[in-house]
A and B are shown apart, each in its own frame.
Chain A
Amino acid sequence: MGNAERPEAETVLRLSGITKRFGPLIANDAISLSLKRGEVVALLGENGAGKTTLMNILFGHYTADEGQIEVFGTALPPGDPRAALAAGIGMVHQHFTLADQMSVLENIVLGTRALWSLNLGKSAARQKIRKLATDYGLEVDPDRMITELSVGERQRVEILKALYREARILILDEPTAVLTPMETEALFATLRKLVAAGLSVIFISHKLGEVQSVSDRVVVLRGGKLAGERRTTEATRRELAELMVGGQLPVNEIGPSSPGATIFELKGVSTRTMGGAALKQVSMQLRGGEITGLAGISGNGQAALAALIAGTLEAREGDIIVHGETARHWSPRAALDKGLGRIPEDRHATGMIGDMSVSENVISEAYRSPRFSRFGFLDWKAAADFARDIIKAYDVKCPSPEARVRLLSGGNMQKLILGRALDGNPDIILASQPTRGLDVGAVAYVHARLIEARDRGAAVLLISEDLDEIQTLSDRILVIHRGQLSKPSERGELTVMELGELMAGHGLDEGVTHAA
Chain B
Amino acid sequence: MTEAFEILFTASFWVAAIRIASPLIFATMGELICERAGVLNLGIEGIMVAGAFSGWFTVYMGGDLWTGVLVAALTGAMFGLLHGFLTVPLGLSQHVTGIGITLLASSLTYFTYRILLPEVTSPPKIEPFQPFAVPVLSDIPVLGPALFNQTPLTYLAYLSVAVVAFMLYRTPVGVAVRAVGENPSAVEAQGISVTAVRIGAVMAGSALMAIGGAFLTMSAFNSFFFEMINGRGWIAIALVVFGSWRPGKALIGAILFAAFDAYQVRLQQITGGVIPYQIFLMMPFVLSIVALVVVARRATYPKALMIPYQKGER
Q: A100: CB under 8 A from chain B?
A: yes
Chain B residues, CB < 8 A from A100:
182-183, 303
Asked if A111 contacts B183 (CB within 8 A), the reply is no
CB distance from A164 to the nearest CB of B (A): 10
Given contacts A100-B303, A115-B172, contact A110 B188 (CB under 8 A): no
Partner of A111, one of B171, B178, B187, B312: B187
Please tell me if A486 contacts chain B, counting CB pairs below 8 Å: no
Cα distance, A94 to B173, chains bound together (Å) = 26
A119 surroundings in chain B (CB, below 8 A): 170-171
Inter-chain contact A99/B186, CB cutoff 8 Å: yes
Closest Cβ of chain B: how far from A181's Cβ, in Å? 27
Q: Chain A residues near B314 (CB, 8 Å)?
A: 95
1/0 contact trace for A111-145 toward B, CB 8 Å? 11111111110000000000000000000000000
Whether B115 sits at the interface, judged by CB under 8 Å, is no
If A81-B191, A110-B192 touch, does A102 touch B300 (CB 8 Å cutoff)? no
Taking the nearest CB of chain A, how far is it from the CB of B181, in angstroms?
A: 8
B188 cross-chain contacts in A, Cβ below 8 A: 61, 81, 97
One digit per residue, 1 when the CB lies within 8 angstroms of any chain B CB and 0 when it does not, for chain A 263-284 equals 0000000000000000000000
**Considering the chains assembled together, what is the distance between the CA atoms of A93 and B185 in angstroms?**
10
For the complex, give the distance between the alpha carbons of A117 and B176 in Å. 12
Q: Which of B60-114 contact A (CB under 8 A)?
A: none
CA distance A317 to B180 in the complex (A): 42
Q: Is the CB of A82 within 8 A of B191?
A: yes
Across the interface, which residues of B come within 8 angstroms of A111, CB to CB?
172, 176, 187, 190-192
Q: Give 1 or 0 for each of A67-108: 1 = CB within 8 Å of chain B CB.
A: 000000000000001101110000101010111111000110
Q: How far is the CB of B288 from chain A (nearest CB, A)?
A: 25
Instruction: Indicate if the CB atoms of A93 and B183 lie closer than 8 Å.
Output: no
Quick check: is A445 within 8 A (CB to CB) of the other chain?
Answer: no
Do the beta carbons of B183 and A97 come within 8 Å of each other? yes
Given known pairs A61-B311, A118-B171, A119-B171, the reply for A81 and B182 (CB within 8 Å) is no
**For residue B1, which residues in chain A have a CB less than 8 angstroms away from its CB?**
none
**Which of chain B's residues 161-182 have a Cβ closer than 8 Å to chain A?**
170-173, 175-176, 178-179, 182
CA of A113 to CA of B312, assembled, Å: 25
Confirm or deny: B275 has a beta carbon within 8 angstroms of a beta carbon on chain A.
no
Residue of A nearest to B313 (CB): A61
Given contacts A93-B189, A97-B183, A102-B178, are A117 and B303 in contact (CB under 8 A)? no
* CB-based nearest B residue for A81: B191
A101's contact among B190, B191, B303, B312, by CB below 8 Å, is which? B303
Chain B positions 185 through 227: 1 when the CB is less than 8 Å from some CB of chain A, otherwise 0: 1111111100000000000000000000000000000000000
| Contacts known (A110-B175, A117-B171, A119-B171); A161 close to B190, Cβ less than 8 A | yes
In the assembled complex, A30 has its CB within 8 A of some CB on chain B? no
What is the minimal beta-carbon distance from A79 to any residue of chain B, in angstroms? 10
Of chain B, the residue at the smallest CB distance from A110 is B190
Tell me which residues across on chain A come within 8 A of B303, comparing CB atoms. 99-101
> Given that A115-B173, A117-B171 are contacting pairs, would A110 and B186 also be in contact in the complex, using a CB cutoff of 8 Å?
yes
Q: How far is the CA of A114 from the CA of B191 in the complex (A)?
A: 12
Give the interface SS of chain A, mostly helix, strand, loop or mixed: loop
Tell me the A33-71 residues at the B interface (CB within 8 Å): 56, 61-62
Residues of B within 8 A of A102 (CB): 175, 178-179, 182
Contacts A85-B191, A101-B303, A161-B190 given; indicate if A109 touches B183 (C-beta within 8 A).
no
Look across to chain A and name the residue whose beta carbon is closest to the beta carbon of B245: A101
A335 to B51, CA, bound (A): 59
Q: For A98, list chain B residues within 8 Å (CB).
A: 183, 186
Contacts of B186 in A (CB 8 A): 97-99, 107, 110
Separation of A110 and B197 alpha carbons in the complex (Å): 12
CB-based contact A117/B178 at 8 Å: no
Q: Which residues of A contact B311 (CB under 8 A)?
A: 61
Contact residues, A280-321 vs B (CB, 8 A): none
Contacting residues, chain B, for A117 (C-beta < 8 A): 171-172
Q: Which residue of A lies closest to B172 (CB)?
A: A113
Within the assembled complex, what's the spacing in Å between the Cα atoms of A376 and B300? Answer: 45
What is the interface of chain B mostly: helix, strand, loop, or mixed? helix
Q: Is the CB of B170 within 8 A of A120?
A: yes
A114 proximity list for chain B (CB < 8 A):
172
How far is it, in angstroms, between the C-alpha of A61 and the C-alpha of B312 when the chains are bound? 6
Beta-carbon contact of B312 and A62 below 8 Å: yes
Instruction: Pick from B173, B175, B183: contact of A106, CB below 8 A.
Output: B175
Most buried by A among B187, B189, B190, B303: B189
B189 near A109 (CB under 8 angstroms)?
A: no
CA distance A95 to B185 in the complex (A): 10
- CA of A91 to CA of B186, assembled, Å: 11
Given contacts A97-B188, A97-B189, A101-B300, contact A110 B173 (CB under 8 A): no
In Å, the complex CA distance between A85 and B281 comes to: 57
CB-based contact A99/B171 at 8 Å: no
Q: Measured between C-beta atoms, what is the minimum distance from B159 to chain A in Å? A: 16
- Measured CB to CB, the closest approach of chain B to A413, in angstroms, equals 18
Give the chain B neighbours of A113 by CB distance below 8 A: 172
In the assembled complex, the Cα of A106 lies from the Cα of B178 at a distance in Å of 10
Q: Which residue from chain B places its CB closest to the CB of A95 in the assembled complex?
A: B314
- A108 nearest CB neighbor, chain B only: B190
Cβ contact of B190, chosen from A61, A112, A116, cutoff 8 A = A112
Task: Find chain B residues with CB under 8 A from A106 CB.
Answer: 175, 178-179
In the complex the two chains form, what is the Cα distance from A56 to B185 in whole Å?
13
Query: B190 touching A99 by the CB < 8 A rule?
Result: no
**B residues near A97, Cβ cutoff 8 Å:** 183, 185-186, 188-190
Q: CA separation between A174 and B277, bound complex, in Å?
A: 66
CB neighbours of A107 from chain B (8 A): 179, 186
Q: Most chain-B CB neighbours within 10 Å: which of A61, A91, A109?
A: A61
Task: Name which residue of chain B comes closest to A161, CB basis.
Answer: B190
Q: Collect the chain B residues with CB atoms within 8 Å of residue A95's CB.
A: 185, 314
Query: Bound complex: CA of A36 vs CA of B144, how far in Å?
Result: 70
The answer to whether A115 touches B176 (Cβ under 8 A) is yes
Contacts of B172 in A (CB 8 A): 109-117, 120
Decide if B182 touches A120 in the complex (CB within 8 Å): no
**A residues near B189, Cβ cutoff 8 Å:** 81, 91, 93, 97, 161
A428 to B187, CA, bound (A): 45
Please tell me if the beta carbons of A110 and B171 are within 8 angstroms of each other in the complex: no
Cα distance, A118 to B182, chains bound together (Å):
22
The contact sample of 19 A-B pairs, CB cut-off 8 A, is A62-B312, A85-B190, A85-B191, A91-B189, A93-B185, A97-B189, A98-B183, A98-B186, A99-B186, A100-B182, A102-B178, A107-B179, A111-B187, A111-B190, A111-B192, A114-B172, A115-B192, A116-B173, A120-B175
Closest 4 CB pairs of A and B: A111-B190, A99-B182, A82-B191, A97-B189
Q: List residues of B whose CB falls within 8 A of some A CB.
A: 170-173, 175-176, 178-179, 182-183, 185-192, 300, 302-303, 311-312, 314
Additional 12 contacts, C-beta under 8 A, given A98-B183, A115-B192: A95-B185, A97-B190, A100-B182, A101-B182, A102-B182, A110-B186, A110-B192, A111-B191, A114-B172, A115-B172, A117-B172, A120-B170
